[in-house]
């Protein structure tokens, strides 16, 4: 295990991947660099896995599913996942430092990326232990006489999980632990920019749990072909993926020849409709803060603010005051709320979209560039654009940066139409002094999830999924657990 340590707290993760129970480097010894976004310095290396490595991992997962009792032994799975929970708890400060090193997430806001996923392991272990895998569906009359029908929920098989870089440990856990508890075997392909959140997970599984060889595998690589090989492999029964809509389309296409079950959480361009009776002093500063935390690198962020024309200037001023003074800087400093973008490429994408917005007629209210006091690191100023055309690129394309666009509207119907004017439908928000009015507006928004007056829709017990081109299927809740199961109806004599 290779580690790198400095006074800033930078810490590299394990270079090795986990295949068939063995922590290993790729055969050639090739590695790729992992860069700390706050310093632009190489923090360490990860092994550069190959298509052949992925094929071995899939083969191991296939054998473990077909030839062991993992899929049938609920109590053993519960035992292993509780071991995993305890091991993650023991390793959480190491995981926190690795997360900050890879992502640049400020230490102040790492709770949702460290404590939350660790708690979810215990939740899914208990949920799966108590789940009714055999349900009596009653007696049904048929032309051949009465039939007793039962529904048997059984694991899908081999699950391939492909995860993004913005909240890597959380999504590595969210996309694999319920799958494992449901009785599947798993191959995890973490994002290229954040391999260590995956390799450390693999190390903990191998060294600190009784999860059998082949049940859980991690393959890291700097090559897109390796993830594509996982999507296309006929031995894989299901792909779960969080990331861009463009990549989601490619995964659907790759799995089409084998008609794979596919669970997708894709892009978002969520709207926050602020009604004319809303408490602006409560709703808008919070909206501005949420745009900057995690450097705007969140798929559910309501990045389009829709303000009533009658209170437009008031709303712009409140948003400006919050964003202009938002604490941006070194993620290791307590109190910092916005760190760098994940990479220089991502920062240039954000800056390019800001320029596109200005070129299309948007008014730059604050931000728009690189902070002068932060010449090193991939930092971007919190940016507010007003008078945004709802059909412009900046209003239609996911930015994944600390950028809010503001568009005026005249009526509730107008606001709903603007909110729904998107290929995406992942999340949304409504603010109003009248909850029933807000609820009526929320029901008309074509999106999978809506927050009203800051009361978040997101939680482990509630289904989370997108409409339109924001995804297929659900995470969380009973619906999320069942995604990793097939329902088999069995008819028998009454």
Residue that has been written with the tokens 């568009």 in this structure: 407
User: If DSSP codes are grouped into helix, strand and coil, which group holds residue 217?
Assistant: strand
* Residue 225 Cα distances to 38, 171, 189, 377, angstroms: 29, 21, 11, 29
DSSP 212: P
Asked if the model's pLDDT at residue 105 lies above 80, the reply is: yes
Write out the E strands in 367-410: 383-386, 403-409
Find the mean pLDDT for residues 166-191. Answer: 98
Confidence band (pLDDT; 50, 70, 90) for 115?
Answer: very high
- CA-nearest of 401, 468, 392 to 428 is 468
Together in a domain, 255 and 314: no
Range from 7-21, 45-59, 420-434 carrying the lowest mean pLDDT = 7-21
Q: How many domains does the chain have?
A: 2
Question: How far is residue 442's CA from residue 448's CA, in Å, rounded to a whole number?
Answer: 10
Question: How far is residue 449's CA from residue 429's CA, in Å, rounded to a whole number?
Answer: 8
Together in a domain, 322 and 388: yes
Q: Is residue 102 part of a domain?
A: yes
Q: Is residue 279 part of a domain?
A: yes
Q: What is the pLDDT of residue 2?
A: 37
Question: How far is residue 474's CA from residue 258's CA, in Å, rounded to a whole number?
Answer: 21
Q: Is residue 147 part of a domain?
A: yes
CA 122 to chain centre: 19
Asked if the model's pLDDT at residue 241 lies above 60, the reply is: yes
Together in a domain, 202 and 341: no
Question: How far is residue 68's CA from residue 463's CA, in Å, rounded to a whole number?
Answer: 31
Question: How far is residue 180's CA from residue 183's CA, in Å, rounded to a whole number?
Answer: 5
Structure tokens belonging to residue 71: 């899929």
Q: What is the pLDDT of residue 7?
A: 47
User: If DSSP codes are grouped into helix, strand and coil, which group holds residue 83?
Assistant: helix
Domain span at residue 368 reads: 271-452
- CA-nearest of 133, 111, 128 to 176 is 128
For the chain, the distance separating the N- and C-terminal CA atoms, rounded to the nearest angstrom, is 59
Inter-residue contact 160 to 233 (CB < 8 Å): yes
Asked if the model's pLDDT at residue 6 lies above 70, the reply is: no
Inter-residue contact 470 to 267 (CB < 8 Å): yes
Structure tokens belonging to residue 449: 């999830």
Asked if the model's pLDDT at residue 124 lies above 90, the reply is: yes
Find the mean pLDDT for residues 151-168. Answer: 97
Asked if the model's pLDDT at residue 3 lies above 70, the reply is: no
Q: What is the four-CA torsion angle of 378, 383, 388, 391, rounded to 10 degrees?
A: 20
Question: How far is residue 384's CA from residue 491's CA, in Å, rounded to a whole number?
Answer: 60
Together in a domain, 360 and 306: yes
pLDDT tens digit string along 205-235?
A: 999 999 999 999 999 999 999 999 999 999 9
Q: What is the pLDDT of residue 424?
A: 97
Together in a domain, 323 and 402: yes
Q: What is the pLDDT of residue 286?
A: 95
- CA-nearest of 202, 213, 232, 261 to 55 is 232
Inter-residue contact 227 to 162 (CB < 8 Å): yes
Catalytic residue among 265, 398, 429, 483: 265
Q: Is residue 10 part of a domain?
A: no
Find the mean pLDDT for residues 180-204. Answer: 98
Is 15 one of the annotated active-site residues of the chain?
A: no
DSSP 11: B
Question: How far is residue 214's CA from residue 68's CA, in Å, rounded to a whole number?
Answer: 10
Percent of the chain with pLDDT over 70: 98
**Ramachandran angles phi, psi of 138, nearest 5°:** 90, 180
Q: What is the pLDDT of residue 357?
A: 97
Mean pLDDT of the chain: 96
Structure tokens belonging to residue 361: 């007629």
DSSP 403: E
Q: What is the pLDDT of residue 4?
A: 40
pLDDT tens digit string along 350-379?
A: 999 999 999 999 999 999 999 999 999 999
Together in a domain, 332 and 395: yes
CA 150 to chain centre: 35
Together in a domain, 485 and 428: no
Q: What is the pLDDT of residue 8?
A: 59
Inter-residue contact 58 to 258 (CB < 8 Å): no
Q: Is residue 323 part of a domain?
A: yes
Find the mean pLDDT for residues 183-203. Answer: 98
Question: How far is residue 369's CA from residue 164's CA, in Å, rounded to a whole number?
Answer: 25
Confidence band (pLDDT; 50, 70, 90) for 324?
Answer: very high
Structure tokens belonging to residue 481: 């657990």
Q: What is the pLDDT of residue 476?
A: 95
Question: How far is residue 442's CA from residue 450's CA, in Å, rounded to a whole number?
Answer: 6
Together in a domain, 252 and 303: no
Confidence band (pLDDT; 50, 70, 90) for 27?
Answer: very high
CATH number, residue 396? 3.40.309.10
DSSP 17: E
β-bridge pairing 304-308 and 271-274:
parallel
Q: Is residue 277 part of a domain?
A: yes
Q: What is the pLDDT of residue 178?
A: 98
Together in a domain, 446 and 397: yes
pLDDT tens digit string along 66-94?
A: 999 999 999 999 999 999 999 999 999 99
User: If DSSP codes are grouped into helix, strand and coil, which group holds residue 151?
Assistant: strand
Find the mean pLDDT for residues 317-327. Answer: 96
CATH number, residue 213? 3.40.605.10
Q: What is the pLDDT of residue 419?
A: 98
pLDDT tens digit string along 282-306?
A: 999 999 999 999 999 999 999 999 9
Q: What is the pLDDT of residue 161?
A: 98
Asked if the model's pLDDT at residue 155 lies above 90, the reply is: yes
Structure tokens belonging to residue 441: 């507006």
Together in a domain, 280 and 158: no
Q: Is residue 465 part of a domain?
A: no
> Angle formed by the axes of helices 168-181 and 196-208, to 10°?
40
Together in a domain, 62 and 178: yes
DSSP 286: H
Q: Is residue 383 part of a domain?
A: yes
- CA-nearest of 182, 237, 199 to 95 is 199
Together in a domain, 333 and 215: no
């Amino acid at each position: 295990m290779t580690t790198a340590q400095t006074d800033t707290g930078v810490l590299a993760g394990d270079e090795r991947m986990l295949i068939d129970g063995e922590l290993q480097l790729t055969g050639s010894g090739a590695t790729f660099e992992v860069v700390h976004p706050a310093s632009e310095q190489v923090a360490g290396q990860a092994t550069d896995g190959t298509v052949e490595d992925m094929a071995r991992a899939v083969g191991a997962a296939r054998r473990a599913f077909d030839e062991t009792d993992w899929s049938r032994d609920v109590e053993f799975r519960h035992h292993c996942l509780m071991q995993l929970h305890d091991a993650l708890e023991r390793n959480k400060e190491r995981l926190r430092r690795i997360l900050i090193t890879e992502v640049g997430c400020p230490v102040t806001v790492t709770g949702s990326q460290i404590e939350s996923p660790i708690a979810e392991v215990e939740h899914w272990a208990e949920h799966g232990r108590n789940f009714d895998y055999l349900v009596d569906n009653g007696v049904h009359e048929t032309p051949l006489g009465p039939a007793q029908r039962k529904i048997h929920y059984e694991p899908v098989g081999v699950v391939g999980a492909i995860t993004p870089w913005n909240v890597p440990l959380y999504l590595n856990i969210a996309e694999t632990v319920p799958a494992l508890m449901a009785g599947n075997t798993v191959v995890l392909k973490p994002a290229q920019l954040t391999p260590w959140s995956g390799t450390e997970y693999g190390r903990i599984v191998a060294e600190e749990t009784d999860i059998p060889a082949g049940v859980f595998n991690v393959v890291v690589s700097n090559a897109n072909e390796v993830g594509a090989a996982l999507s296309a492999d006929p031995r894989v029964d299901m792909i779960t993926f969080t990331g861009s809509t463009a990549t989601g389309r490619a995964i659907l296409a790759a799995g089409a020849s084998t008609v794979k079950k596919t669970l997708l959480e894709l892009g978002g361009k969520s709207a926050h409709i602020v009604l004319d009776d809303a408490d602006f002093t409560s709703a808008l500063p919070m909206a501005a803060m949420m745009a900057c935390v995690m450097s705007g690198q969140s798929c559910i962020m309501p990045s389009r603010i829709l303000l009533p024309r009658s209170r437009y200037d008031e709303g712009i001023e409140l948003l400006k005051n919050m964003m202009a003074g938002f604490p941006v800087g070194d993620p290791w400093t307590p109190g910092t709320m916005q760190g760098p973008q994940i990479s220089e490429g991502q920062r240039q994408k954000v800056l390019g979209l800001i320029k596109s917005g200005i070129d299309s007629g948007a008014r730059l209210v604050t931000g728009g560039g690189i902070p002068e006091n932060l010449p090193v690191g991939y930092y971007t100023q919190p940016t507010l654009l007003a008078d945004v055309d709802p059909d412009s690129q900046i209003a239609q394309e996911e930015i994944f940066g600390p950028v809010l666009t503001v568009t005026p509207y005249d009526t509730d119907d107008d606001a709903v139409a603007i909110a729904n004017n998107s290929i995406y439908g992942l999340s949304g928000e409504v603010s109003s002094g009248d909850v029933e009015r807000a609820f009526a507006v929320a029901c008309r928004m074509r999106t999978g999830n809506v927050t009203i007056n800051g009361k978040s829709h997101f939680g482990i017990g509630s289904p989370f999924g997108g409409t339109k081109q924001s995804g297929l299927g659900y995470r969380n809740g009973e619906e999320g657990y069942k995604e990793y199961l097939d329902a088999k109806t069995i008819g028998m004599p009454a």
